[in-house]
Chain A
Amino acid sequence: MTDLAGMLDSVIGPLAAALLTLMVLSYLIGDNPLFRIAAYLFIGVASGYAGALVIRSVLWPGLIDPVLQAGASGLLDPALITQVLLPGILVVLLLFKLSPGIGRLGSLSLVLLLGVAAAVVVGGAISGTLLPQTAATVQTLNPAAVAPRTGETGIERLTNAVIVLSGTLLTLASFRFTQRKPRGQVSGPSMGPWQRGVRQVAGLFIAITFGVMFGGALLAAVVVLAQRVQFLWSTVLGLVSQVLG
């Protein structure tokens, strides 16, 4: 048994991982069955794992196990009704969405989910991002202030503050200040010189931002590629050592 576990960890597991890696890399020659097998395998394993995880980590401890522990006599417990049975009813109603005929019964659960999620997300975005970041943009105009992270002050900080503020305002302006297209005009709306200037400068900021993000994503992908090649090489070395040794 121990030998089998050791074989799984040292030989079979790395070998399967290496094969799957090569099957995914085979997409370089185009779409092929090997790539599809690997992709379907990943999707199936991920879905199965997620389902099992939800049942084990959410449904069983939060919905089924409390009912079983409470028994028939405990079903009338108000705490159990509000915390377990009522959510359970909502879960069952949500399952009705699978059928078009009775799908409307699940709308209540869906509305509750969407409403609560939207309220939480919007509230958090306003209090956690919008207001603090707006205040941070205004405060950076103080030339006497010292940046807590970078230590910048004086002209250097003021220059950075102007860049940050102008970039923020111009980007917002390029998205916000639009005008209705005249009737019958096929091309874009007519823009004045200052509007075109705002649009071009804002486009420059946006291009730099996306360029940085793309460069970062590229570097991350390069790291992954290097790690996979390193893994393949180590697997080959491990197999060779196992064979030779």
Chain B
Amino acid sequence: MPGDVPEWLAAIRAENPPAAEPPAASTDWLSQLREADGSAQQGPPAGEPPTWVQAGETGAANGEQVPDWLARVRGRQAEDSETGEPPLGVPNLAAPPPARRDESDSRPLPPLELPGLEETDSGVFYPPESPKAGQPVPGAEPPGLTDSGVFRLKTGINISADKEAPMPSWLGQLEAEAGAPPAVPTGLPSVPALVRAEDLSGPQLPGEDFSAEALSLPEWLGQLGSEAAVVEPAEGRPDLAPATLPAWLEAMRPVDAFRSSVEIGPEEEQAVEAAGPLAGLRGVLLAEPVVAIPRMASAAPALLEVNERQYAQAELMHRLVEEEQREVSPAAPRRRHVPVVRWLVAAVLLAAAALPTVLGVPTFPLPSTVPLELDPLVSLVAAAPANRPVLVVFEFEPGNAAELQAVAEPMLEQMMQQGLAIAALSTRSTGALMADQQLSTLGGNYGYSNGQGYVNLGYLPGGSVGVQLWSQDPLAVPTSGFALPSAPDGTQLQSPWQVPMLAGVDEVADFGMVAVVSSSAEAARTWVEQAGPWMGATPLVLVMTTGADPVVRPYYEAQNPQVDGMLSSLPTALSYSMRLGRPGASFSLWNAFGLSAWAAVVFMILGWIPAFGVWINQQRKLRGAQR
């Protein structure tokens, strides 16, 4: 587990409660170290090579590479040589190296030489000018993980090398084997930065580096009995943080490269350094895992707080992405729908329209009631002055010709019966054609011809603006006419106004009556609004299709009517024709119209019954849902 400490280290903590230590020492040990050491002010400036580098560039040029920690050692060494203080960061190795171990006992090692350092028996390299043991090291590093990755127990104090401490038995054995006197100095417990493989078989710390009195040795070390050396309690020991790993340091710890306990395997099993100045060496502290191998983030990522709405939107986004990626299956071929109902309705309507025409049956009684607007219209046409032409405006397309020509026919016949001159006009492109067709057809029965009885003024462009302009001054608006007749002398007329029957017309009020035959309420309203103010006493009559009748009827039935006569629907036209005594198109269409209208009403009722059932069902469901 990260952050766990060995039992023996926990025991040390128990003996040295952290309450006596500054609280920030456990996390900011480096800053504390620098404060105590004063290295923050004494170290070389950033970007400037260390002293030893400047001094030994020759050696570096020869391929000798010096690690960073050694650079710091040398820097401190240069200072301590002047002040007499031990170097910072170097284990208290002031004592002269003990007798060298017998080379025959040791396995062959790769040559390990570090420039400017001397090697002790335990394999620790130290500068030759290191301070004497037992001298206090001002600003020594607190326990913790050093820059080089070595876990240091406690440093910062120098235990006097003069004081003899009991030597552990295993150390004595080592010294006996080496045939040299045991190391005199008893330094603080420390872990060497570079450890040989053979030193890992026994305790990692030489006996002279720690005191059994100051430390509660781990279990394996405690078995060594009473021979454990007792280190004299150091007076003036600085309050240092216990050997604990801060949480942030634990988080930075490489998962695979860090070991919670110091255990160094045989050299053969150790990895070869692949980067840095120690590249190619085996048994050194690996720098690459710390630098290059991915590890845990230095800080735990902040937990994302998601509310329900954001979660729903995220789900929706996820669903949209899935829908986007989903392959749309080809649509199944639609089943060919046979429009039985449509065919049935069409067949019935066609039969209803054809039966009276082909077979003459059934017959429907002629309308017995006369619409209220018929008598005023008949009277109005009858009162039209014979010496003034009547203007008939054909405002419908060929699609509405069947109805509107049948409806307008009796009115036109009455005009022709009275011998009124008729001038036709239209604001629709095909209106002039409709006018010419009807006038020529009806006029043949009453001796009317083009130029003799009627004249087609043709197409009036401009819509509402054109109607207003034409109403103000008909002669100023160029209308080329339609199928203009020839003059009595045989010459072709260039303008409809050259026709003699229009000789007295200078404005719209000069017409004896204006009748608008329209298939839309808008066209009729345009004539009421734009031409009405310019018509004076000239009556205005609207001949409307049945569907537009309700919209324009208020103009006729108002208290001050703007329309003087109105005619719409086939029954009214038939009544008009009966009044005139000349059955026309409305009469021939009457039976077919009656039977087709009945068929349409039956279909409407038949369609209304299931629609009513659906509506009832919907109302029930709605009430059920409300309950």
Enumerate chain A interface residues (CB-CB to B < 8 A).
Answer: 28-30, 46, 49-50, 53-54, 56-58, 60-62, 116-117, 120-121, 124-125, 127-129, 132-133, 135-136, 139-140, 145, 147-150, 209, 212-220, 222-230, 233
Q: Which residues of A contact B558 (CB under 8 A)?
A: 132-133, 136
Contacts of B430 in A (CB 8 A): 46, 49-50
What's the nearest-Cβ distance from chain B to residue A20, in Å?
11
Task: Report the separation of the CA atoms of residues A225 and B556 in the bound assembly, to the nearest whole angstrom.
Answer: 29
Residues of B within 8 Å of A217, CB to CB, are: 545-547
**Which residues of A have CB within 8 Å of B532?**
128
Say how far B479's CB is from chain A's closest CB, in angstroms: 7
Task: Determine if A53 and B459 form an interchain contact, defined as CB atoms under 8 angstroms apart.
Answer: yes
State the CA gap A148–B400 with chains docked (Å). Answer: 31
Interface size on B, residues (CB 8 A): 64
Name, among A53, A54, A125, A135, the residue most crowded by chain B CB atoms within 10 Å (CB to CB). A53
A46 proximity list for chain B (CB < 8 A): 429-430
Q: Are B561 and A149 in contact (CB under 8 A)?
A: yes
Residue B547 contacts which of A54, A133, A147, A220 (CB distance < 8 angstroms)?
A220
List B contacts of A139 (CB < 8 A).
559-560
In this assembly, does B589 line the interface, its C-beta being within 8 Å of a C-beta of chain A?
yes
A147 with B559, Cβ < 8 A, contacts A62-B478, A125-B529 known: yes
5 smallest beta-carbon distances between A and B, as pairs: A128-B529, A124-B529, A226-B592, A227-B402, A217-B547
Chain B, range 400-452, C-beta contacts under 8 Å to A: 400, 402-403, 406, 429-430, 432
Residues of B within 8 A of A224 (CB): 399-400, 402-403
Which of B406, B459, B549, B554 is the one whose CB lies under 8 Å from A223? B406
Query: Given A120-B468, A124-B464, A225-B349, A216 and B569 touching (CB < 8 A)?
Result: yes
B residues whose Cβ falls under 8 Å from a Cβ of A: 339, 342-343, 346, 349-350, 353-354, 357-358, 372-373, 376, 399-400, 402-403, 406, 429-430, 432, 458-459, 461, 463-465, 468, 478-480, 525-526, 528-530, 532-533, 545-551, 554-562, 569-570, 585, 588-589, 592-593, 596-597, 600
Closest to A63 in B: B478
Q: Are B358 and A116 in contact (CB under 8 A)?
A: no
Q: A28's closest neighbor in chain B, by CB?
A: B346
Partner of B463, one of A117, A129, A209, A229: A117
Report the bound CA distance from A124 to B531 in whole Å.
Answer: 9
Instruction: Write the nearest CB–CB distance from B574 to chain A, whole angstroms.
Output: 11
In the assembled complex, the Cα of A212 lies from the Cα of B343 at a distance in Å of: 26
Tell me the smallest distance from the CB of B78 to a CB of chain A, in Å.
76
Given contacts A62-B478, A135-B560, A149-B376, contact A218 B461 (CB under 8 A): no
Residue of A nearest to B563 (CB): A149
Option from B480, B533, B547, B592 in Cβ contact (under 8 Å) with A61? B480
Q: Which residues of A contact B585 (CB under 8 A)?
A: 227
- Is there contact, CB below 8 Å, between A209 and B550? yes
- Distance of A56 Cα from B464 Cα, bound (Å): 21
Q: How far is the CB of A10 from chain B (nearest CB, A)?
A: 14
> In whole Å, how far is A55's beta carbon from the nearest beta carbon of chain B?
10
Identity of the chain B residue whose Cβ is nearest the Cβ of A208 in the assembled complex = B550
Q: In the assembled complex, which residues on chain B have CB atoms less than 8 Å from the CB atom of A228? A: 353, 402
Given the known interface contacts A145-B559, A228-B402, the answer about A49 and B429 at a Cβ–Cβ threshold of 8 Å is: yes
Q: Which of A117, A149, A209 is the most central at the interface, judged by chain B CB atoms within 10 Å of its CB? A: A149
Report the Cα distance A209→B600, complex, angstroms. Answer: 19
Q: How far is the CA of A65 from the CA of B589 in the complex (A)?
A: 47
Give the Cβ gap from B448 to chain A, nearest Cβ, in Å. Answer: 19
Contacts of A135 in B (CB 8 A): 559-560
Pick from A49, A124, A128, A230: contact of B357, CB below 8 A. Answer: A230
With A49-B429, A219-B546 given, is the CB distance from A121 to B461 under 8 Å? no
Residues of A contacting B549 with CB < 8 Å? 216
Q: Name the CB-closest residue of A to B559.
A: A139
Is the pair A147, B429 in contact by a Cβ cutoff of 8 Å? no
Rounded to whole angstroms, the CA-CA distance of A230 and B354 in the bound complex is 7
Taking a contact as CB atoms under 8 Å apart, the answer to whether B464 and A132 are in contact is no
Question: Taking the nearest CB of chain A, how far is it from the CB of B538, in angstroms?
Answer: 16
Q: Chain B residues near A212 (CB, 8 Å)? A: 550
Residues of chain A with a CB closer than 8 A to B526's CB: 124
Name B's interface SS.
helix
A116 nearest CB neighbor, chain B only: B465
Report how far A30 CA is from B342 CA in the complex, Å.
10
Please determine whether A230 and B569 come into contact, CB atoms closer than 8 angstroms.
no
Whole-angstrom distance between the alpha carbons of A149 and B346 in the complex?
Answer: 40
Nearest B residue to A146 via CB reads: B559
Task: List, in ascending order, chain B residues with CB within 8 A of A225's CB.
Answer: 349-350, 353, 596
CB-based contact B529/A127 at 8 Å: yes
The reply to whether A132 and B478 form a contact with Cβ atoms under 8 Å apart is no
Contacts of B339 in A (CB 8 A): 29-30
A226 and B353 contact, Cβ closer than 8 Å, known pairs A128-B533, A209-B550: yes
Q: Is the CB of B530 within 8 A of A120?
A: yes
Return 12 A-B CB contacts under 8 Å, by A number: A28-B343, A57-B478, A62-B478, A127-B533, A136-B558, A149-B373, A213-B547, A216-B547, A219-B569, A220-B545, A226-B589, A227-B589
Decide if A223 touches B593 in the complex (CB within 8 Å): yes
A50 lies within 8 A of B561 (CB): no
**A129 B525 Cβ-Cβ under 8 A:** yes
Across-interface contacts of B342 in A (CB, < 8 A): 28
A57 and B458 contact, CB distance less than 8 A: yes
Task: Report B20 CB to chain A, min CB distance, Å.
Answer: 63
The CA of A230 and the CA of B373, in the complex, are separated in Å by 29
Closest Cβ–Cβ distance, residue B507 to chain A (whole Å): 18
Query: What 8 new A-B contacts, CB under 8 Å, besides A124-B530, A223-B593?
Result: A28-B343, A54-B461, A58-B461, A61-B478, A128-B525, A136-B558, A223-B589, A226-B592
Given contacts A124-B529, A213-B551, A217-B547, contact A227 B556 (CB under 8 A): no
A183 to B554, CA, bound (A): 42
Residues of A within 8 A of B546 (CB): 215-217, 219-220
Q: Please, which residue of chain A has its CB at the minimum distance from the CB of B397?
A: A46
A186 to chain B, nearest CB (A): 16
Question: Min CB distance, A42 to chain B, in Å?
Answer: 9
Chain B residue contacts of A56, Cβ below 8 A: 480
Rounded to whole angstroms, the CA-CA distance of A21 and B583 in the bound complex is 26
> Which among B569, B570, B589 has the highest number of chain A CB atoms within 10 Å?
B589
The complex places the Cα of A225 from the Cα of B373 at a distance, in Å, of 26
Q: Which chain A positions have C-beta within 8 A of B402?
A: 223-224, 227-228
B403's partner among A58, A215, A223 (CB-CB below 8 A) is A223
Collect the chain A residues with CB atoms within 8 Å of residue B525's CB: 128-129
The contact of A227 among B406, B458, B550, by CB within 8 Å, is: B406
Give the docked Cα–Cα distance between A129 and B570 (Å).
27
A57 touches B550 (CB 8 A): no
A216 vs B349: C-alpha distance when bound (angstroms): 17
Nearest CB of chain A from residue B604's CB, rounded to whole Å: 8
Of the listed residues B399, B468, B529, B589, the one surrounded by the most CB atoms of chain A closer than 10 A to its CB is B529
Complex contacts, A49 vs chain B, CB 8 Å: 429-430
Shortest Cβ distance from A219 into B: residue: B546
- Interface centre among A57, A147, A222, by most B CB within 10 Å? A222
Nearest CB of chain A from residue B508's CB, rounded to whole Å: 15
Contacts of B555 in A (CB 8 A): 133
CA distance A150 to B349 in the complex (A): 36
